[in-house]
Amino acid sequence: MCGLLTFISSRSDAPFHREAVAHALESLHHRGPDETGVQVIGSEVIFAHKRLSIIDVAGSHEPLPYANGRYLLTFNGEIYNYIELREELIRDYGARFDTEGDGEVIVAGFHYWGEAVVDRLRGMFAFVIVDTHQRLVFGARDPYGIKPLFHLVTPDGLYLASEKKALLPFLTEAYYGSADGRGGVDTANLSHYLTLQYVPEPGTLHRGIGRVGSGECFTYRAGGTFATRRYYQPQFRPTPTDDPESLYRRIRETLRESVRMHMRSDVPVGAFLSSGIDSTAVVALAREFNPNILTFTVGYDVDGYSEIEVAQDSARHLGVTTIPTKIGPQDMMEALPKIIWHLDDPVADPALVPLYFVAKKASEYVTVVLSGEGADEFFGGYTIYREPLSLSTINGLPNPVQKGLRKVAQVIPQGVKGKSFLERGTTPLEERYYGNARMFTEAEKRRLLRQYDERVRYTDVTGPIYAEATAAGLDDVTKMQYIDLYTWLRGDILVKADRMSMAHSLEVRVPFLDRPVFDVAATIPVDLKLPPHSTDTKFAMRQALREVVPPAIVNRKKLGFPTPTRVWLAGEMYDWAHDIMGRSGAGDLLDLTYARNLLDAHKRGEADYSRKVWTVLVFCVWHAIFVERSLDPGITRAQSALLTKPVVGSMVR
């Protein structure tokens, strides 16, 4: 595990760039405090990295050479089947290895298998390989986007980094919009953020910097074109079965094997534990291989939000120790600048905050934790996935009838029961579903955005994905899962998991996001994901785990580290939020008076505007850190190049 920063010069002047790269690397210190390296290779390449030592702690130094130095690798992540691949390469090719780590398997595999190595890797990864003979750069990101990889192409050459902040010092005026960073916000992606609560891949909020997509690899030659291709595309194939118990066994055993593989480590491994089935299942299976595994949970002193009590009951049932941590509104206010600095781009998911604190606590005891991300997308866990079933009575009506019902819905007053049902039931799935988060409507964005562009729509993001799902003949429920794999999962869930854990030099592993697990989950028919006469979600997975997790958890509804922002924004956090928007320099992009009015209406109890307000707050803090540069997030290590200018004020107290 590490933070990587690689530069491939188009002018053969890499040695002159070394100090700038070394300085930018310090912004990634949290990703790898165990080892720092900056090495110039020839006159064209600089490898810089920060290492968090997990496997082969004493060896596997980067850049890792292979074939007498022909290839050089820098790598972020873990390859869980590295032992099996290593044995195969020795047996079939007589490959030689100088380390005991997993990274060398990647570069050796590239030597013998070429680009096809990416199809052999089971794990989470972002890597860069330089072939010094061919003067070729090859790299890839894991199938589901667990590990990040940002890129920037300039006249100087190609930059690649684990986090966007390490690339910001190398943005030129032509790419950024202006020399001091102002005006460089990508307004189309800002519009998407206000709809989705995250910036969708492959873009970012900084023009010129992009992301290698999940399941993509790339090639590059100095001075040439940065070219990506998708090497992995998840294929759902729901298959009716007359033997559901056999399917349940396959799910259970595949998950058990995945957890076993994910526990390969030379340092202590713990696990997050919430009140739901996903994390509880991971803990239950993990304790089969380590009965003394430590678990970690988080909660609040607010009724209906804390998961600590349920997690403690589950821990007692499983015979493991859970270590709780509680947070309050002051903790949230103080931590938000640090959280947003680590994010790089705003993500308006309040669950970031408890995840940040539970990761902080876990890092005091272990270096690696297991977590339950991905189960909902793979197995059909979101309640909204039931919508196509509930709307089927309207969707099946002839088009003229649906048009008539849509007109009826238009004249029904807001808030009247039945209006939303008719509106959604007469709207095609491709237009009504764009993920789990729906922040501001287009009408609301017209008021909020200073320069609203009606040409920028969420369908720009989801349209191509729907086209693939339709071509594959997927049903509506599975289409929604497919959309979430390419949007919500990699834009929100995995960004949250990676950044909040790495903020504390903690590695999060996600056993559900394993290709063999997807291969079995992809076959589950809709009636076993979401039984028509039940309110259950993830039904097949729950049945598969009914003898593994405590009985009280099998059918428990999902909470997932909920956050009482609704309560706190109307109370303890109101003045703080009002002050942030009042001081923000983002007023040239957003109508912050409109946003403050939403906050006031929320405080008065007129409606729950907490998520909308939080979305604006997160952007304002992001803008203060990365555009105005007026807010010091309080990072204790040497500051990023962004933060070397004097701080002229503080918005967050």
Q: Can you tell me the mean pLDDT for 294-305?
A: 90
Q: Is residue 613 located within the same domain as residue 491? A: no
Average pLDDT (640-651) is: 32
Does 572 share its domain with 462?
A: no
Find, among 626, 645, 629, 642, the residue nearest to 199 by Cα: 626
Round to whole Å and give the CA distance between 623 and 584. Answer: 8
Do 392 and 347 lie in a common domain? Answer: no
With contact defined as beta carbons under 8 Å apart, do 548 and 281 qualify?
A: yes
- Considering only 14-23, 217-226, 412-421, 603-612, which range has the smallest mean pLDDT? 412-421
CA distance 165 to 593: 30
Residue 306 has what pLDDT? 79
Cα–Cα distance, 238 to 528 (Å, whole number): 10
Q: What is the pLDDT of residue 267?
A: 92
> What pLDDT does residue 646 have?
28
- The length of the chain in residues reads 653
Same domain? 341 vs 327: yes
Domain shared by 375 and 401, yes or no? no
Q: How far is Cα 221 from Cα 227, in angstroms, rounded to an integer? A: 10
B/e letters for 273-308, b = 16+ CB within 10 Å, e = fewer, are bbbbbbbbbbbbbbbeeeeebbbbbbbbeeeebbbb
Reduce the secondary structure of 415-442 to three states and give it as a string: CCCCHHHHHHHCCCHHHHCCCCCCCCCH
Strand order in the sheet with 150-154: 35-41, 45-51, 2-9, 157-161, 150-154, 209-211
Query: Last residue of some domain: 200, 230, 260?
Result: 230
pLDDT digits (tens, 9 = 90+) for 152-195: 999 889 999 999 999 999 987 555 554 444 457 999 999 999 99
Structure-token pair, residue 217? 């690899």
Is residue 261 one of the residues assigned to a domain? Answer: yes
Q: Which helix (H) or strand (E) holds 279?
A: helix 277-286
Mapped onto helix, strand or coil, the DSSP state of residue 78 is strand
What pLDDT, on a 0 to 100 scale, did the predictor assign at position 238?
A: 97
User: How much is the average pLDDT of 593-610?
Assistant: 97
Identity (one letter) of the amino acid at 143?
P
Angle at 493 between CA 470 and CA 461, to 5 degrees: 40
| Short-list 563, 579, 575, 564, CA closest to 624 | 579
Q: Is 100 contained in some domain?
A: yes
C-alpha pair distances (Å), 541 with each of 310, 523, 524: 20, 12, 9
Buried b (16+ CB within 10 A) or exposed e, 212-243: bbbbbbbbbbbeeebebeebbebebebeeeee
CB 268 within 8 A of CB 235: no
Strands 294-299 and 269-272: parallel
Decide if pLDDT at 132 tops 70.
yes
Nearest Cα to Cα of residue 524 among 239, 272, 122, 280: 239
Q: Does 620 qualify as catalytic in the annotation?
A: no
* Segment among 96-105, 198-207, 520-529, 530-539 with least mean pLDDT: 530-539
399 and 472 within one domain: yes
Q: pLDDT, tens digit, for every residue of 133-155?
A: 999 999 999 999 999 999 999 98
Which distant-in-sequence residues (6+ apart) come within 8 Å of 142 by Cβ?
A: 77, 121, 123, 124, 125, 126, 214, 215
**Whether pLDDT at 640 is above 70:** no
Query: For residues 306 and 80, which has the higher predicted lDDT (pLDDT)?
Result: 80
Decide which of 446, 463, 485 is a domain's last residue.
485
- 352-362 and 329-343 helices, crossing angle to 10°: 90
Percent of the chain scored above 70 by pLDDT? Answer: 94
pLDDT the model gives residue 529: 96
Residue 449 DSSP label: B
Residues 375 and 389 in one domain: no
Reported as a pLDDT band with limits 50, 70 and 90, residue 643 is very low
Q: Are 55 and 39 in contact (CB under 8 A)?
A: no
Q: Which domain holds residue 301?
A: 244-381+487-554
Instruction: Calculate mean pLDDT across residues 48-77.
Output: 91
Residues 213, 163 within the same domain: yes
Residue 29 buriedness (CB in 10 A; 0-12 / 13-18 / 19+): middle
Residue of 2, 332, 503, 570 marked catalytic: 2
Looking at the structure, tell me whether residues 298 and 390 fall in a common domain: no
Residue 234 pLDDT > 50: yes
Does residue 446 surpass a pLDDT of 60? Answer: yes
Q: Give the least confident one: 5-14, 68-77, 368-377.
A: 5-14
Instruction: Judge if 574 and 590 occupy the same domain.
Output: yes
Can you tell me the mean pLDDT for 60-72? Answer: 93
Across all residues in the chain, what is the average pLDDT? 91
Domain boundary among 196, 230, 264: 230
Q: Does 196 reside within a domain? A: no
Is the pLDDT confidence value at 653 over 80?
no
pLDDT at 304 over 80: no
User: What does the DSSP assignment read for 197-261?
Assistant: SSPPTT--SBTTEEEPPTTEEEEE-TTS--EEEE-----------S-HHHHHHHHHHHHHHHHHH
Residue 559 confidence (pLDDT):
61
Would 194 be classed as within a structural domain? no
Question: Are both 250 and 121 inside the same structural domain?
Answer: no
The values of phi and psi at residue 588, to 5°, are: -80, -10
State the pLDDT at residue 394.
84
Of 359 and 171, the structure prediction assigns the larger pLDDT to 359
Say what the pLDDT of residue 94 is: 97
Residue 29 has pLDDT above 50, yes or no: yes
Which CATH number do you get for residue 546? 3.40.50.620
State how far the Cα of 413 lies from the Cα of 419, in Å rounded to an integer.
8
Q: Give the contacts of 259 (CB within 8 A, at least 6 positions apart).
A: 282, 285, 286, 288, 289, 370, 511
pLDDT band at 456 (very low <50, low <70, confident <90, very high): very high
81: CATH = 3.60.20.10
Q: Is residue 481 part of a domain?
A: yes
Is the pLDDT higher at 377 or at 43?
377
Residues whose CB falls within 8 Å of the CB of residue 40, separated by 6 or more in sequence, listed in order: 14, 15, 18, 46
Indicate whether 182 belongs to any domain: no
Q: How many domains does the chain have?
A: 4
> Does the structure show a pLDDT above 70 at 221?
yes
Specify the residue for token string 């690899």: 217
11: in domain: yes
Percent of the chain scoring above 90 in pLDDT? 79
Tokens of 33: 């405090």
Same-domain status, 425 and 570: no
198 domain residue, yes or no: no
